[in-house]
Amino acid sequence: MNDLRIYPLKIYLKAQENLSLPSFATNTIRGAFGYNLKNLACVYRNVKRNCKKCILRKSCVYSRIFESTIDNIHIENSNLNNLLKDVPDPFIFYIPSEINRFQVKANKMFYIDIVLIGNIIEDLPWFIVTFNHLQESGLGKNFQKVIVDSVEHFSGQIYSSVSETLINYLPGLPEDVLLPDSDISKLTLHFITPLRLRIQNNVVDSLGKQLFWNAIVRRWFLVNEVWNVSSSYKDYEYYFKLHHQITDFKSDMKWTRYRRYSTRQKKWINLSGLQGQVTLSGSLNELYPILKLTEYINVGKSTSYGMGKFKILRG
């Protein structure tokens, strides 16, 4: 089942000055990352040009990471053209406890949880170089400067600003992380950030067993089909039907109102969604690996800046 390669990281940044970012600071980080990546990678950076019409888009690292479309990535499953409105981003950013205003004093460090997906793992050096560029461009409307101190993976530190060398770079998540160490009959999923699901353009404000499980499998399925470099397991219908193994489903999810201001779009963006816990009971051993993978890649809308993030709690 585990064809999907994911690479969880912590990038430690040091504030060069007092840092103060608005709520949902992950979105500020994501925006700064995209801006700097384009400045570093795009040969037309000084020209206003539509990336979707650029003849270099299929070989451009900015387009591949930040503005991927169906026509500039290779997808083996041709049926996805009918399923995909937008290509899922191949990365997830999240600053812990970032829903409230985020503040760091000068010379203090903070970290960003990052997950790279599939063939984008090989672009890790671009992520490090781009984040390092924040010491020049800064973050937020006040352009507050930060610098990369180090990068860590499961195996330990893989990059240090002292040596400026990427070491022990062995992509992948250890297989045993996804396997249950005993039979599982109960799991609670605690949603740290709001879960946003849509059905026919309407935001879902309550959860049922099948709707929830379909969202989990759909997220894993789409990310796997788009970003996996190896041939994937095709029998997804089987996994959708696993909701029958959930004999009891309890949702304690409450509608939570959030919004953020988009500097690029110059308007407020609604981020309201469901937050709280869901508890699953039944024969859950087969469901656990999919849930564990989705714990890393989030579920629902706006996952690349931390929405739909949950933590699995064993019953």
Q: How far apart are CA 42 and CA 199, in angstroms?
A: 36
Q: Read off the pLDDT of residues 190-236 as tens digits, 9 standing for 90 and up.
A: 999 999 998 877 888 889 999 999 999 999 888 888 887 555 555 77
| Terminal Cα distance for the chain, rounded | 24
Between 58-62, 166-170, 278-282, the lowest mean confidence (pLDDT) is in: 166-170
Residues 6+ apart with CB under 8 A from 226: 68, 73, 75, 80, 84, 87, 88, 90, 118
Q: How far apart are CA 144 and CA 19, in angstroms?
A: 6
Residues 6+ apart with CB under 8 A from 313: 187, 188, 189, 190
Q: Which fold has domain 175-314?
A: Alpha-Beta Plaits (3.30.70)
Structural contact between residues 261 and 22, judged by C-beta atoms closer than 8 angstroms = yes
Q: How far apart are CA 62 and CA 74, in angstroms?
A: 16
Q: Read off the pLDDT of residues 149-197 as tens digits, 9 standing for 90 and up.
A: 999 988 889 999 998 888 876 666 777 778 887 899 999 999 999 999 9
**3-class state of residue 153 by DSSP:** strand
- C-alpha 293: how far from chain center: 12
Domain ranges for the chain: 6-166, 175-314
Task: Give the confidence band of 246 by pLDDT, cuts at 50, 70, 90.
Answer: very high
